[in-house]
Amino acid sequence: MSSSHKNLSNFEGSEIPNGKGMRIGIVVAEWNTAVTGALFDGAVQTLVKNGVSKDDIIIIKVPGSFELTMGAQFMCEDKTIDGVITLGCVIQGETRHFDFICDAVAHGVTNVSLKYNKPVIFGVLTPNTLEQAQDRAGGKHGNKGDEAAVTALKMIALKKGL
C-alpha cells in the first residue's frame, strides 16, 4: 500500500514484541538531517517504549544514504548486536543520482542482512519533495522511524523464537 494512504505510526491490531534484552544498532544518514533526525527520534522513542534499554541502542552517523550499507555492515560485525535500523532520506532531484542511491542502499542493506543473518531494516524515505518527507517524519503520515523500529523488534523476536 502506498504510504500516502497509511499512517506509518499506526500499529493497531499488530502485536509488538517486547524488546527487553535486545541490542539494536541505528545507522543514520546526515543528508537531509532535519528529516533523518526526526526519523531517529521516532525510532528511539518506539524502541524504548517497547522495552529496549537506552544502553542497548548503539548509534552511528554516516554522511549520506549511500553509506548506510557500509554502516550497517560495521554494526553487523559486532556479534552482540541483534539487528540494525538504517535511516535516511533521499529526495527526488533532477538527476539520476536519486535512482542510483535508492537502488544501491536497498540492495546493499538486503545483502548485509542476508550475509550476517541479522535483520537490517530499510528506514529510508524516497519522496518526491521535502514536504512529502516531512509528512512521513513525524507529520501527517506518521513517522517511518517508528515503523522501522517496530519492524526491527518483530524481526529480531522472530529470529530469537526459532
Residues that bind ligand DLZ (CB under 6 A): 29, 31-32, 63-67, 88-91, 93, 97, 101
Q: Are 123 and 88 within 8 A, CB to CB?
A: yes
- Identify which of residues 39 and 153 has a Cβ nearer to ligand DLZ in the complex: 39
Count CB neighbours of 92 within 10 A: 14
State in angstroms the smallest separation of the CB of 46 from ligand DLZ.
Answer: 22
State in angstroms the smallest separation of the CB of 138 from ligand DLZ.
Answer: 18
The CB-nearest residue to ligand DLZ is 64
Count CB neighbours of 4 within 10 A: 11
State in angstroms the smallest separation of the CB of 111 from ligand DLZ.
Answer: 17
Cα 29 to Cα 65: distance, rounded to the nearest angstrom: 5
- Identify which of residues 48 and 91 has a Cβ nearer to ligand DLZ in the complex: 91
- Give the closest residue to 65 by CA, choosing from 24, 103, 119: 103
CA–CA distances in Å: residue 12 to residues 8, 20, 25: 11, 21, 25
Residue 97 annotated in active site: yes
- Identify which of residues 88 and 142 has a Cβ nearer to ligand DLZ in the complex: 88
Of 5, 97, 107, 141, which residue is the catalytic one? Answer: 97
**Active site positions, annotated:** 97
